[in-house]
Structure 1
Amino acid sequence: MSKPRWKPSVTVAAVIEQDGRYLLVEEQTSLGLRLNTPAGHLEPGESPLDGAVREALEETARPFRPQALLGVYLAGSLDAEGTSATWLRIAYCGAAGAPEPGRALDRGIVRTLWMTLGEVRASQSRHRSPLVLRCVEDHARGRRFALDVVYTDASIQIAGDDALA
């Protein structure tokens, strides 16, 4: 008898720092209001870089210009019902433009806020995952990799087309 196939959920994230403050979102989750960097699920047929740009715009109403790969992270979590999940996060860092006038924040996002590193550390109990602080601290430490470290083959379009059919 074979075991069920294990599949971590792939998420993409944007770590945005400006003038010593990090852009976070406050979002409604099954565990209540939580803080996160702009992040979300990678969609079928989408490169991780494109996904991070899309998620940042949807959650902050600001265009995101990735400048470097911050890292690839793996973490587990439990939801309010005690169901476990594993998350593979691909995080990028870069700059954000001005908010797009009239653009609504994604469903579940209550607000955006700019926080210092100290404030992010102090709010750790409210983070959506342990990867929020880790990504922000990696950025503050100067961790950076070239954007082309994550390669996306054109064949993802086939998988994306199948998922949408």
Structure 2
Amino acid sequence: MRFTPHLTVACIVEDKGRFLIVEESREGRIVLNQPAGHLEANETLLHAAVRETREETGWSVELTTVTGLYLFTAANGVTYQRTCFAALPREHHAGQSLDQGIIRARWMTLEELQHERHKLRSHLVLDCITDYLHKPHYSLDLIR
């Protein structure tokens, strides 16, 4: 059997101590996640991160740094490699339709996310924010 991890991207978008979070319907539950998604064919990781954030939140963002690389194996056995970026919010497109399954975008504090930990899509949501807050960030030039 061939091992085929899924390549994904995510963005940590912070504004005044609040983080841009996606509330989505997933397998019959409402979960919280960073704006995130899969890399598409012929797309760079940088472009995928900006695209996914816009599609899921209606926000155009400017990527600033790479905050981490993560491996996660879901309960169904699928492994994901997530490249996480920090980004600045630039423009909100309020009338934009959001991706299927997305209920809304929310701005939440770290404390609010910790309080709603039971709703997180995976532990990566808080892991990525914790790393963003406490670990080194890397230049976007790291991605070739």
Q: State TM-score, norm by structure 1.
A: 0.83
In structure 1, distance between residues paired with 2:22 and 2:85: 16
Higher radius of gyration, 1 or 2? 1
Does 1:90 find its partner at 2:83? Answer: yes
- What's the counterpart of residue 12 of structure 1? 9
Backbone CA RMSD of aligned residues: 1.1
Q: Give the strand-richer structure, 1 or 2.
A: 2
The number of equivalent residue pairs is: 144
Deviates more, 1:139-148 or 1:107-116: 139-148
- What's the counterpart of residue 35 of structure 1? 32
Q: State TM-score, norm by structure 2.
A: 0.95
Counting only pairs closer than 5 Å after superposition, residues 19-30 of structure 1 correspond to structure 2 as 19-30=16-27
Identical counterparts, % of pairs:
38
Instruction: Select the residue among 63, 67, 70 that pairs with 1:70.
Output: 67
User: Runs of 5+ in structure 1 lacking a partner?
Assistant: 152-165
- What's the counterpart of residue 158 of structure 1? none
Q: Which runs of 4+ in 1 moved over 4 A?
A: none
- What's the counterpart of residue 128 of structure 1? 121
Does 1:150 find its partner at 2:143? Answer: yes
Residues 62 and 97 in structure 1, CA contact (< 8 A), matched pair in contact too: yes
